[in-house]
Structure 1
Amino acid sequence: MRGLFPPIALASTSPRRQALLAQIGVEFKRLDIKVDESPQPAERPTSYVYRLALAKARAGWGQQPPRGRLPVLGADTAVVVENEILGKPADRAQAGVMLTRLSGRSHQVLTAVALTNGDEAQYRLSVSTVTFKRLTKDECEAYLASGEGLDKAGAYAIQGWAALFISRLEGSYSGVMGLPLYETGELLGNLQERKK
């Protein structure tokens, strides 16, 4: 479906987000963006992912030279248990605590996407509910040893071995991976319409 959407810049180095954009035929350049991902005091999970997606998109806009700037897409994902944000684990021990919290229960995965052209920004939100089976100690240890979840929100990757733990998914598989394609397509489609 190349040519359906205009070229953009992606404010992310995530291989998963890059693969998902490529899957729907979007031409993009990758921008290495650093933003503080710490939640603010009493910040709600929805506000958190919206704020970070926009911060990444705006940082990407500012990183490009003024001539030839492309619209910038930013995204942020949070795993939420009992209204608490589980970000990326700092280390293996914290990843183990997160997996224990997710074991045998449902949690939400929120992914916000923001698209900016400098003057304005548009947003979309994907909310999914993921249910984990009850994990055994051996399963947790084997998964932690794999290192797969150490750089992922909630300490797991749905597209990897953690798929073995997921008994139910309601919502967007690509959203849980980190870039909800339906919502992203809406934003890019709006951008295409404005260019006509």
Structure 2
Amino acid sequence: MKQPQLVLASASPRRRELLAQIGLNFLVQTADIEETPLPGESAEALVKRLAKEKAEAVWISRGVSHTPSLPVLGSDTLGILDGELLVKPADFEDARRMLRKMSGQRHEILTAVALTGAGGTQVIVNRSVVKFRALTDAEILAYWQTGEPQDKAGAYAIQGYGAVFIEQLEGSYSGVMGLPLFETAQLLQAAGIIIF
């Protein structure tokens, strides 16, 4: 088994699956950062800042005790519809409100990827557009009861049951999942990390 090539600053099982999909061996270490938007902060600035802060927090916490120092990959995903951030729902009513709003509409998913190493931090943002078909209240309730939407930005998972709601996708499937592999590979290759 090859040695770890990087550290993933995320507890997301989806991000772990995506990195494993492209043959990377990695460690996982989460970062506890404040995710509240700053006053007047745009969605793009927010998602970039959060990805960067996650990667840098893990890089700093690992310090000099880990040699050689592995680069740290951080990522963050946000949905946007009519200027509203589509974050993880607080409860069923919040999820129902978001899913009703997305019903029959297009929304944007922004996922930022940050790679921190000895040379600093590089950040790339992926933008995708998702169009939902019209949803009924009964479908929304049944979907909530699967448990899937409860910890997902925008209250749905493209890789799960939520896929049946998606009429059209413009952009990156892996980006909507939470880690755009094209952009991730660009950052890793620029840092000298062999993908496969």
Pairwise TM-score range, normalised by the shorter structure: over 0.9
Count of equivalent residues: 191
Q: Secondary structure at the match of 2:107?
A: strand
- TM-score between both structures, scaled by the size of structure 2: 0.93
Q: Does 1:134 align with 2:173?
A: no
Deviations 1:120-168 (A, max 9, x none): 1111111000000010111101011111011111010000001000000
Whether contact under 8 Å (1:61, 1:118) holds in the other structure is no
Shift of 1:119: 3.9
Deviations 1:90-131 (A, max 9, x none): 122211111111111000000000001144111111100000
Listed as ranges, the gaps of 5+ residues in structure 2 are: none
Deviations 1:14-53 (A, max 9, x none): 0000000000011110002111111112211100100000
Measured in 1, the distance between the counterparts of 2:57 and 2:180 equals 21
Partner of 2:46: 48
- TM-score between both structures, scaled by the size of structure 1: 0.93
Partner of 1:152: 152
Measured in 1, the distance between the counterparts of 2:181 and 2:59 equals 21
Percent identity (aligned)? 49
Matches within 5 A, 1:104-183: 104-183=104-183
Whether contact under 8 Å (1:57, 1:115) holds in the other structure is yes
Q: Secondary structure at the match of 2:151?
A: coil
Q: Residue type matched to 2:57 in 1?
A: A
Deviating 4+ runs (over 4 angstroms)? none
Q: Does 1:80 align with 2:80?
A: yes
Q: Does 1:184 align with 2:184?
A: yes
Partner of 2:57: 59
Q: Secondary structure at the match of 1:179?
A: coil
Measured in 1, the distance between the counterparts of 2:106 and 2:91 equals 23
Cα RMSD for the two superposed structures: 1.6
Whether contact under 8 Å (1:79, 1:85) holds in the other structure is yes
Name which of 5, 8, 15 aligns with 1:7.
Answer: 5
Shift of 1:63: 1.9
Q: Residue type matched to 1:182 in 2?
A: F
Q: Secondary structure at the match of 1:192?
A: coil
Partner of 2:16: 18
More off after superposition, 49-58 vs 28-37: 28-37
Whether contact under 8 Å (1:128, 1:176) holds in the other structure is yes
